Chain A
Amino acid sequence: GNSVTQMEGPVTLSEEAFLTINCTYTATGYPSLFWYVQYPGEGLQLLLKATKADDKGSNKGFEATYRKETTSFHLEKGSVQVSDSAVYFCALSTPYSGAGSYQLTFGKGTKLSVIP
């Protein structure tokens, strides 16, 4: 079955530090890959996505590249801000046998705290 493994948190960084959150996956077929973010008290928001190998998803200074050879989709940001403090979830979806369910399989989430 499908599974997603992401680095355990929490991660605490100083403002302007470089961020990497590792994510690797196991899936049958060719999954689409996602990073979702959950700010305190809010729901899950799509941060970025990539739908095929070597695609790079990017948004708000965050980037992740779909690496089929290493089955990875690591999240990076060059300079984090206090407002980036949130929980980050790596996820994948594959179509369900023609019904097109595209259910998401999530990692456990990584809590990021950025301090001034």
Chain B
Amino acid sequence: EPEVTQTPSHQVTQMGQEVILRCVPISNHLYFYWYRQILGQKVEFLVSFYNNEISEKSEIFDDQFSVERPDGSNFTLKIRSTKLEDSAMYFCASRGPASYNEQFFGPGTRLTVL
């Protein structure tokens, strides 16, 4: 069964460093998402991406964040200068053109900023 994959599973970085989180969505999907979950809190929407551009973003998704689909398979989230409060689990999701309501999630990347 097709699945969304994410790498790495755990990333530890120093405050102020740049990180790139990677996702490989399901191959025929067209809509891509990033969500995050700070420990003990709810899962929050960050950004959606369609047709090589951002279609919607939340207030959390400020200038420190960017997304890119550098090739036909990867979807990345970059944080330019990490802060302590960026420590969270980051989930990638994708959905296809036919199942417009169902998003498929990856296993997540745990980001720890020291």
Contact = CB atoms under 8 A, between A and B. Distances in A.
Interface residues of A, number: 25
Contact of A103 (B42, B45, B91, B107): B45
B56 A109 contact: no
B74 interface: no
A43 B58 CA distance: 21
Interface string B79-114: 000000000000101010000111111111000000
Contacts of B100: 100, 102
A108 interface: yes
A44 interface: yes
Given A51-B101, A99-B55, A102-B101, A43 B107 contact: yes
Top-8 shortest CB links A-B: A44-B105, A43-B107, A106-B43, A101-B56, A43-B105, A101-B48, A108-B42, A103-B45
Interface of B: 4, 6, 31, 33, 35, 41-45, 48, 50, 55-56, 58, 91, 93, 95, 100-108
15 contacts: A43-B105, A44-B43, A44-B93, A46-B102, A51-B101, A99-B56, A100-B31, A100-B55, A101-B48, A101-B50, A101-B56, A102-B31, A104-B45, A107-B42, A109-B43
